[in-house]
Amino acid sequence: MLMFILRRLIQTIPVIFGVTIVVFIIMQLVPGDPAVLLAGEGATSETIEALRVQLGLNQPLYAQYIDYVVNIFRGDLGTSLKNDQPVLDEILIRLPITLELAIFSTIITIVLGMVAGIISAIKPYSIIDTVVMVIALLGISLPSFWFGLMLMYGFSVKLQIFPVAGWDSIAHIVLPAFTLGAGGAAIVARMTRSSMLEVIRQDYIRTARAKGVKERVIVYKHALRNALIPVITVVGLQFGALLGGTVLVESIFAINGLGRMIVDSIRMRDLPMVQGGVLVASMVFVLVNLLVDILYRFFNKRIELN
């Protein structure tokens, strides 16, 4: 297991390099000059050029990229062009908020999705199954920003049950987490149903029923455990999607997380902040994929760790 984890960690290095290259190139294609934005309106050309030299923007692109990668290995993600603060310090403040939102959303995704999927699999092609799958289809189809606004309007403005915005208590978590988790729950529900139906048709399930094993034991001990492998894959991918989805949700609910920080930094063309934020988010996603691979082995001992 230890060697497997080490191999996977080494394999993530090219992925991280690829992320830094893609983000660096995209930020260079965004219109506008960071030096002009920092200098402000009415700044002289001499002032702008001095800023470019100070920020290293006068160097060739390959030199800027090499300096950035070297600094990453030193644990330095650069300095924000917006507030002149270390990028890593800003990320360490915002990242826990985004991770907390993503984790609560994932819990909602797993609980709602698996419960709905199991119910549909137990009662296939019934009215209950049809209703659950229709709701799941709606959950996949509804845009998260619209769903979030509707939840805010209904539960915050009209019913005044939850706060409108912010991130100060458990009550602030409910609506953003449900906004993010609902779409993922719909996907998990469909995958759980499909995987459970496939497992339930296997010979060993029929044998267990013929031996008089209780249906509850068959469903939860035999069928569900063996149906979890594709569901785990979907949950892992959904966690990565949730990290990306926090950009919209954090903006809607005024949450000062990593996603909102990246959006604000893109507007300001704060290249170091954007690169640092995307890099850290990518590393979290890679680590989640590693955890998913380990869970494969935990739920199915026949899977080899290569």
Token pair 């991130």 is at which residue? 167
**What does each of the 306 residues of the chain score in pLDDT, given as a tens digit?**
677 777 777 877 888 788 788 877 877 777 777 777 777 767 788 888 888 887 777 888 888 888 878 888 888 887 887 777 888 888 898 888 888 888 898 899 888 888 888 888 888 888 988 888 888 888 778 887 888 889 888 998 888 898 888 788 888 888 998 888 888 888 888 888 888 888 888 888 888 888 888 878 887 777 877 788 788 778 877 777 777 777 788 888 888 888 888 888 887 778 788 888 888 888 888 788 777 777 766 666 555 555
Residue-range domain boundaries for the chain = 32-73, 87-299
3-state secondary structure 123-154: CCCCHHHHHHHHHHHHHHHCCHHHHHHHHHHH
Which one is the CATH code of 87-299: 3.20.20.70, 2.170.150.20, 3.30.499.10, 1.10.3720.10? 1.10.3720.10
**Is pTM, for the whole model, over 0.95?**
no
Token pair 């915002």 is at which residue? 94
